[in-house]
Amino acid sequence: MNKKYKKNGYIALITLIIIGAIALVIAISITFISLNQKNFIISHNRTLRNYYLANACANYGILQLQKNLEYKGQETITIDESICQIEDVQGSGEKDRVIITSSKIADQLKRLKIELDQIKPKTIVKSWGEISQ
């Protein structure tokens, strides 16, 4: 009779150890998944912030060009403690102008090229998109 209780005690102990190990593996997996999601969200937010920062610079460049057709860019702009650049404004006069802007947050660089058909009397955008680094 004593042997039977000892055997049941070992089975219960081994079962408890196995259940504990499974619970530990699940807890560690959930932690890693949460960390990966957090890193993805941070990276995604940086990408979005970079994109909108470069776009804000482009809009600023268009406004400057509307005020002064001689505007050449090569200007650094600070928006909410973040920096973007109007790298270059190409062309001359009221037609066929190009604005290149960039912003960099952490290691992510975003560059935009805006092609304008016309500046005055009404600004007409031919294309607005991302370009390679």
Confidence of residue 16 (pLDDT cuts 50, 70, 90): very high
Tokens, residue 30: 């959930």
Domain count, the chain: 1
Residue 77 CA, chain-centre distance (Å), reads: 19
Asked if the model's pLDDT at residue 8 lies above 90, the reply is: no
Per-residue 3-state assignment (H helix, E strand, C coil) for 79-93: ECCEEEEEEEEECCC
pLDDT at position 2 over 60: no
Give the domain range for residue 95. 2-131
Task: Please write the tens of the pLDDT for every residue from 59-105.
Answer: 999 999 999 999 999 999 998 888 999 999 999 999 999 999 999 98
Residues 77, 54: Cα–Cα separation, whole Å: 10
State how far the Cα of 105 lies from the Cα of 30, in Å rounded to an integer: 29
For the segment 93-111, what is each residue's pLDDT rounded down to a tens digit? Answer: 999 999 999 999 888 899 9
30 phi/psi in degrees, rounded to 5? -65, -40
Of 90, 5, 31, residue with least CA distance to 23: 31
Question: Are the C-beta atoms of 86 and 57 separated by less than 8 Å?
Answer: yes
